[in-house]
């Protein structure tokens, strides 16, 4: 296991690195946040240990920056900040685990091993395609047969949900929750209205319809 340890306390860092090496692991130590960030970008580690309070670049900013650079290496926060909000904020920043100081090395080792065994995170698709219909989830563009189609934000959200679930039947309730954030039935025809608008834009001008009504169930997008 290859472990990057980003820790400014030299005694703690030496203890962790020496103990990990004794178990046969390879370690690298960064004593400040900026160096830790640069080392993490190499993406050559199985797991990263990060202190919260670091000089140069604090641990929270480091983790957010690493995740922003699309580095998916598992990260464990090791910090004296052990309050509930501290732990929640650390995980929300992009860390995979959180261990509070003082700690037992046996627990740290077990957690690192568990993180290293996790399958790598899958990069989320940014483009979806069904037959000749394509959408770009970053640029929020829709094209069919090479022609760009103008859609409203809610229509794009509806279409992207249908395309992510292509070939499957999605119910009205599923659409209300995913597209409108309704966790109740507002007793309106908002879904039907937006489906109709999408059909006029992406189906009507073309020979092959893609949005299909499944009677008594919902809708399905397929060729």
The CATH number given to whatever domain includes residue 206 is: 1.10.10.10
Q: What would the pLDDT profile of 38-61 be if each residue is shown by its tens digit? A: 999 987 899 999 999 999 999 999
Q: What pLDDT score does 120 carry?
A: 58
Whether 72 is in a domain gets the answer yes
Low-confidence ranges of the chain (pLDDT < 50): none
Determine whether 73 is exposed, middle or buried from the number of CB atoms within 10 Å of its CB (0-12, 13-18, 19+).
buried
Spell out the residues 6+ positions from residue 214 whose beta carbon is closer than 8 angstroms to its own: 169, 220
End-to-end CA separation in angstroms for the chain: 46
Write down which residue in 57, 88, 117 finishes a domain. Answer: 117
Q: What is the pTM of this model?
A: 0.56
54 & 144 share domain: no
45 & 83 share domain: yes
Which residue range forms the structural domain that includes residue 101?
2-117
110 & 89 share domain: yes
Rounded Cα–Cα distance for residues 96 and 78 (Å): 11
Q: What pLDDT score does 175 carry?
A: 94
15 & 107 share domain: yes
Whether 85 is in a domain gets the answer yes
Pick from 92, 56, 60, 96: nearest CA to 76: 96
178 & 204 share domain: yes
- C-alpha torsion 164→169→175→176, nearest 10: -160
Q: What pLDDT score does 124 carry?
A: 57
The CATH number given to whatever domain includes residue 51 is: 3.40.50.2300
Write down which residue in 82, 117, 152 finishes a domain. Answer: 117
Whether 122 is in a domain gets the answer no
CB neighbours of residue 108 within 10 Å: 19
Rounded Cα–Cα distance for residues 171 and 174 (Å): 5
8 & 113 share domain: yes
100 & 150 share domain: no
CB neighbours of residue 199 within 10 Å: 15
Indicate the number of domains in the chain: 2
Q: What pLDDT score does 121 carry?
A: 55
163 & 89 share domain: no
Q: Which 3 state secondary structure label does DSSP give 40?
A: helix
Query: Is beta strand 133-136 parallel, antiparallel or unpaired with respect to 127-130?
Result: antiparallel
Write down which residue in 64, 87, 117 finishes a domain. Answer: 117
CA–CA distances in Å: residue 196 to residues 72, 140, 165, 199, 202: 40, 20, 18, 5, 10
Whether 154 is in a domain gets the answer yes
């Amino acid at each position: 296991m290859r472990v990057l340890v980003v820790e400014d306390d030299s005694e703690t860092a030496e203890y962790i690195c020496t103990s990990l090496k004794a178990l046969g692991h390879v370690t690298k130590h960064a004593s400040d946040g900026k160096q830790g960030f640069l080392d993490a970008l190499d993406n050559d580690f199985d797991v990263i240990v990060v202190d919260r309070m670091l000089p140069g670049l604090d641990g929270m900013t480091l983790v957010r920056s690493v995740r922003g650079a699309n580095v998916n290496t598992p990260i464990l926060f090791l910090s004296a900040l052990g309050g509930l909000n501290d732990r929640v904020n650390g995980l929300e920043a992009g860390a995979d685990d959180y261990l509070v100081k003082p700690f037992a090395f046996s627990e740290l080792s077990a957690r690192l091993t568990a993180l290293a065994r996790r399958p790598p995170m899958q990069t989320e698709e940014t483009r979806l395609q069904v037959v000749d219909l394509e959408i770009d989830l970053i640029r929020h563009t829709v094209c069919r047969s090479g022609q760009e189609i103008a859609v409203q934000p809610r229509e794009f959200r509806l279409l992207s949900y249908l395309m992510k679930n292509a070939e499957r039947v999605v119910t009205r309730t599923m659409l209300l929750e995913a597209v409108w954030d309704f966790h109740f039935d507002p007793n309106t025809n908002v879904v039907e209205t937006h489906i109709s608008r999408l059909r006029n834009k992406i189906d009507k001008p073309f020979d092959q319809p893609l949005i299909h009504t499944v009677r008594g169930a919902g809708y399905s997008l397929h060729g």
